[in-house]
């Protein structure tokens, strides 16, 4: 049996978008993909974004047990694909091997248009969900 592909979703704080992507991949992939998430800020920690978790619960995805953590060199090395979620996040000083398996999802940010709260979360969630479904299809055929 083949080993499932490993996808690491990365954002700055690992409290919202990357956690959402991980939870959505886990929901849809049903074990066909191993999804994890991490942040690039040294001061990650605390709890995941409550509005993000509530929005995902509407789709049956669960990120409530997640916790923000820093992207380790080992996680970056072990991932088959690294997805940077958003435009503000950058992986600094990574090897060409890691860079070659990294892509960026420039997700919608409704707050730039004055959209906040639950409506903002739903728009972000739906954008990430569509990208996750496309990636899952690409990885599993």
Domains of the chain: 6-140 (3.40.50.2300)
Give pTM, 2 decimals: 0.93
DSSP state of 2: P
Given a cut of 70, whether residue 44 has pLDDT beyond it is no
For 138, the enclosing helix (H) or strand (E) is helix 117-140
Which pLDDT score is estimated for 108? Answer: 82
Report the distance separating Cα 99 and Cα 130, nearest Å: 24
pLDDT at 141 over 90: no
Q: How confident is the model at residue 64 (pLDDT cuts 50, 70, 90)?
A: confident
Q: Are 47 and 56 in contact (CB under 8 A)?
A: no
Q: What is the pLDDT of residue 100?
A: 95
On the question of pLDDT at 54 being above 90, the answer is: yes
pLDDT at 66: 82
Rg (CA), the chain: 14
What CA–CA distance (Å, rounded) separates 127 from 109? 10
pLDDT at 43 over 80: no
84: its two tokens: 């940077």
**pLDDT of residue 92 exceeding 60:** yes
Q: 39 in helix, strand or coil?
A: strand
At 105-137, the pLDDT tens digits run 998 889 999 999 999 999 999 999 999 999 999
The answer to whether 105 and 128 are in contact (CB under 8 A) is yes
Query: Does the pLDDT value for residue 1 go beyond 70?
Result: no
């Amino acid at each position: 049996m083949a080993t499932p592909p490993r996808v690491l979703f990365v954002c700055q704080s690992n409290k919202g978008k990357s956690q959402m992507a991980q939870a959505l991949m886990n929901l849809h992939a049903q074990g066909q993909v191993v999804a994890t998430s991490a942040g690039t800020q040294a001061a990650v920690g605390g709890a995941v974004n409550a509005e993000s978790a509530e929005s995902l619960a509407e789709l049956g995805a669960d990120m409530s047990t997640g916790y923000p953590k820093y992207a380790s060199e080992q996680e970056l090395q072990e991932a088959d694909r690294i997805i940077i979620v958003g435009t503000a996040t950058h992986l600094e000083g990574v090897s060409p091997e890691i860079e070659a398996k990294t892509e960026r999802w420039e997700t919608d940010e409704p707050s730039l248009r004055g959209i906040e709260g639950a409506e903002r979360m739903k728009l972000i969630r739906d954008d990430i969900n569509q990208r996750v479904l496309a990636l899952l299809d690409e990885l599993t055929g």
